[in-house]
C-alpha cells in the first residue's frame, strides 16, 4: 500500500491543524465514498468493478490477443484523458518484446504527424481511435490521416479490419464505425476522460502492449477497498487532499510532483492533467507541475530551493527495485575524480540524491513523500485510484466541480470559428 510522510520543518500545517481539518471533512469523505448524486454522470470510476470487472477484463484481453496475432505496430489515437493513462503505463513498464506502440491524435503538428507515419512503413499496422465526443481536432484529424494511410496500404475492406474505435454509445464515432465496418468498444458514458484509466479506454491498448491488466485492476481495487474502509483520521487520500488545501490557503499556490525515476515522465503528464483540469477553475486551484530528477535539479532545482516561495513538493518514491534497477559503477585506473563512488550501485546513489534533495528542499517548503511499493502494473493501479479519489476530495474541499473543464471551451470555440466549423 502507498504511504504518505510529511516533512514540514516550518510548521506550515502542524499535525494538530491537519487533524482538525480531517475531522472537519469526515462527513465529506463519507459522501465521496458513496459518490454524490450531483456527479452521477461522472463517477463511473469510483467502483473499479463497474468498468474493469471480470467481464470487461476478459473482453479487453480477448480483443488485445486478436490484434497481437498480426500487429507489429499499434497506433493509439487520442489526446488528454483518452491517451495519458495508457501511455503512462506502457512507456514505463511495457515488455520489450511486445507490439510496438505509436501515438497520434495528440498534436496538430504536420512535422510530428509525418514523423509518426514514417515509423509505420513496412510493418503490420492496427489503429485504435479513442475519442469521447469525437469533436476534438487532434484525434479527429489524426484518425482521418491514419484511415487514409491504411486504405492506401491495404485497400478499403482490409483496412477496416485493422481499425478499432473507442467512443460513447450513440456518438457520431459509433455511427461511423457501423457505416464503415470498424470494431467499436464503449467509452464509459459516466466517466470524464481523465478518470478513465480503469476502463476499456486504457485497458485495451495496455493489453495490446502486453501489460498485465489483471494486476493493474487488482491494485486499483485494493486501493478502492482501503480508501473506502479508512475513517477520516486514517484516510490516506483525505490526508493528502487536506494537506494540499491547507498549503494552498497558506499561500503555496503550486504543487511540484517529483521523482528520481525518468520512467514516470508520462505518469507525470497524467497527474498534471488530472489536477489541472479538475481544480483549475473559478480563479482557484493549485498549479500542478512536475520535476524529473535528478536531471531537473540542474535547472528547476535552483528555483525550487531559492526562488519565489510559491510551491510545496510531493516526492513519489519507489521502494523496491525491479530487475533492471541495479548497475554497479566499476573501478578504473584512470583518475577521473569519481573514485569515491567505486563499487557503488546507481540505485543507492540515486536514493542518496533523493534523501539529500528532500532534506534541502524541506528547509524552505513543506515536503510530502508518497512511497509506492514498486513500478509495476499492480502499483500503477494503486496510483491511478489513489490520485483520482484524492482529486475528487481535494476539488470538493476547494469548492470546485472536479469533473468538468469549462475553461478549455474558450480556445476551442475561437478555433472552431477560425477554421469555419
Residue 81 or 301 having the CB closest to ligand PA5: 81
Residues 6+ apart with CB under 8 A from 359: none
- The 3-class secondary structure across 106-155, one letter per residue, is CCCCHHHHHHHHHCCCCCCEEEEEECCCCCCHHHHHHHHHHHHHHHHHHC
Residues 6+ apart with CB under 8 A from 219: 377, 378, 379, 380, 381, 382, 385
Annotated catalytic residue within 174, 277, 292, 396: 277
Residue 82 or 226 having the CB closest to ligand PA5: 82
Tell the smallest beta-carbon distance from residue 168 to ligand PA5 (Å): 8
Q: Which pairing describes strands 163-167 and 125-130: parallel, antiparallel, or unpaired? A: parallel
Residue 289 or 360 having the CB closest to ligand PA5: 289
Over the window 238 to 277, marking each residue x when it contacts ligand PA5 by CB under 6 A and - when it does not, the resulting string is ---------------------------------------x
Which member of 82, 171, 199, 258 binds ligand PA5 (CB under 6 A)?
A: 82
Long-range contacts of 58-67 (CB under 8 A, 24+ apart): 59/185, 59/200, 60/200, 60/203, 60/204, 60/207, 60/213, 61/207, 61/213, 63/164, 63/183, 63/185, 63/204, 63/207, 64/204, 64/207, 64/208, 65/207, 67/99, 67/126, 67/164, 67/208
Contact between 139 and ligand PA5 (CB under 6 A)?
A: yes
Residue 44 or 214 having the CB closest to ligand PA5: 44
Tell the smallest beta-carbon distance from residue 52 to ligand PA5 (Å): 18
Residue 395, Cβ density class (10 Å: 0-12 exposed, 13-18 middle, ≥19 buried): buried
Tell the smallest beta-carbon distance from residue 281 to ligand PA5 (Å): 13
Is 298 a known active-site residue?
yes
Q: Supply 4's cell numbers.
A: 504518505
Which member of 131, 206, 246, 375 binds ligand PA5 (CB under 6 A)?
A: 131
Segment near ligand PA5 (CB under 6 A), from 21-29, 78-86, 169-177, 206-214?
A: 78-86
* Residue 355 parent element (H or E): helix 346-361
Residue 343 or 406 having the CB closest to ligand PA5: 406
Taking CB atoms, the residue at the shortest distance from ligand PA5 is 193
Tell the smallest beta-carbon distance from residue 416 to ligand PA5 (Å): 14
Query: From its phi and psi, is residue 343 left (phi > 0), alpha (psi between -120 and 50) or beta?
Result: left
Residue 131 or 216 having the CB closest to ligand PA5: 131
Segment near ligand PA5 (CB under 6 A), from 13-21, 39-47, 189-197, 323-331?
A: 189-197
Give, rounded to a whole angstrom, the gap between the first and last alpha carbons of the chain: 49
Angle between helices 200-208 and 84-93 (to 10 degrees): 30
Rg (CA), the chain: 23
Contact between 80 and ligand PA5 (CB under 6 A)?
A: yes
Is 261 a known active-site residue?
no
Contact between 376 and ligand PA5 (CB under 6 A)?
A: no
Contact between 313 and ligand PA5 (CB under 6 A)?
A: no
Which member of 79, 86, 388, 397 binds ligand PA5 (CB under 6 A)?
A: 79
Is 344 a known active-site residue?
no
Contact between 192 and ligand PA5 (CB under 6 A)?
A: yes
Residue 196 or 290 having the CB closest to ligand PA5: 196
| 381 alpha-carbon distance from chain centroid | 10
DSSP per position, 284-323: --PEEEEEETTGGGGTHHHHHHHS-S-EEEEEEEE-S--T
Contact between 42 and ligand PA5 (CB under 6 A)?
A: no
Contact between 44 and ligand PA5 (CB under 6 A)?
A: no
Which member of 136, 245, 314, 357 binds ligand PA5 (CB under 6 A)?
A: 136
The catalytic residue positions are: 277, 298, 412
Q: Which residues bind ligand PA5 (CB under 6 A)?
A: 79-82, 131-133, 136, 139, 192-194, 277, 405
Amino acid at each position: 500500500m502507498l504511504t504518505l510522510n510529511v516533512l514540514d520543518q516550518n510548521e506550515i500545517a502542524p499535525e494538530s491543524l491537519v487533524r482538525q481539518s480531517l475531522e472537519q471533512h469526515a462527513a465529506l469523505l463519507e459522501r465521496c465514498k458513496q459518490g454524490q448524486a450531483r456527479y452521477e454522470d461522472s463517477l463511473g470510476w469510483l467502483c473499479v468493478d463497474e468498468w474493469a470487472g471480470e467481464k470487461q477484463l476478459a473482453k479487453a484481453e480477448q480483443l488485445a490477443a486478436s490484434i497481437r496475432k498480426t500487429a507489429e505496430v499499434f497506433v493509439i489515437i487520442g489526446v488528454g484523458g483518452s491517451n495519458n493513462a495508457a501511455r503512462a503505463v506502457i512507456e514505463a513498464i511495457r515488455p520489450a518484446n511486445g507490439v510496438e506502440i505509436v501515438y497520434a491524435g495528440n498534436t496538430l503538428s504536420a512535422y510530428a504527424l509525418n514523423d509518426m507515419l514514417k515509423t509505420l512503413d513496412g510493418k503490420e499496422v492496427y489503429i485504435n481511435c479513442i475519442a469521447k465526443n469525437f469533436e476534438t481536432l487532434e484525434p479527429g484529424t489524426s484518425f482521418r490521416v491514419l484511415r487514409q494511410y491504411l486504405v492506401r496500404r491495404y485497400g478499403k475492406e482490409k483496412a477496416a479490419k485493422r481499425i478499432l474505435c473507442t467512443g460513447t454509445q450513440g456518438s457520431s464515432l459509433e455511427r461511423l464505425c457501423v457505416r464503415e465496418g470498424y470494431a467499436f468498444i464503449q467509452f464509459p458514458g459516466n466517466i470524464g476522460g481523465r478518470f478513465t484509466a480503469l476502463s476499456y479506454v486504457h485497458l485495451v491498448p495496455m493489453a495490446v502492449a502486453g501489460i498485465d491488466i489483471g494486476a493493474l485492476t487488482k491494485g486499483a481495487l485494493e486501493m478502492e477497498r482501503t480508501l473506502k474502509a479508512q475513517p477520516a483520521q486514517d484516510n490516506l487520500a483525505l490526508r493528502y487532499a487536506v494537506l494540499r488545501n491547507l498549503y494552498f490557503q497558506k499561500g503555496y499556490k503550486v504543487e511540484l510532483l517529483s521523482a528520481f525515476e525518468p520512467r514516470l515522465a508520462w505518469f507525470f503528464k497524467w497527474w498534471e492533467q488530472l489536477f489541472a483540469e479538475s481544480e483549475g477553475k473559478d480563479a482557484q486551484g493549485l498549479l500542478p507541475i512536475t520535476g524529473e530528477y535528478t536531471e531537473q535539479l540542474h535547472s528547476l532545482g535552483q528555483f525550487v530551493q531559492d526562488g519565489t516561495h510559491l510551491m510545496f513538493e510531493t516526492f513519489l518514491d519507489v521502494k523496491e527495485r525491479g530487475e533492471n534497477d541495479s548497475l554497479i559503477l566499476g573501478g578504473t585506473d584512470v583518475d577521473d575524480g569519481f573514485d569515491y563512488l567505486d563499487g557503488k550501485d546507481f540505485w543507492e546513489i540515486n536514493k542518496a540524491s533523493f534523501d539529500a534533495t528532500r532534506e534541502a528542499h524541506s528547509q524552505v517548503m513543506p515536503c510530502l513523500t508518497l512511497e509506492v511499493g514498486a513500478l509495476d502494473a499492480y502499483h500503477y493501479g494503486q496510483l491511478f485510484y489513489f490520485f483520482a479519489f484524492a482529486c475528487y476530495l481535494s476539488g470538493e474541499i476547494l469548492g470546485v466541480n472536479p469533473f468538468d473543464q469549462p475553461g478549455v471551451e474558450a480556445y476551442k470555440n475561437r478555433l472552431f470559428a477560425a477554421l469555419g466549423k
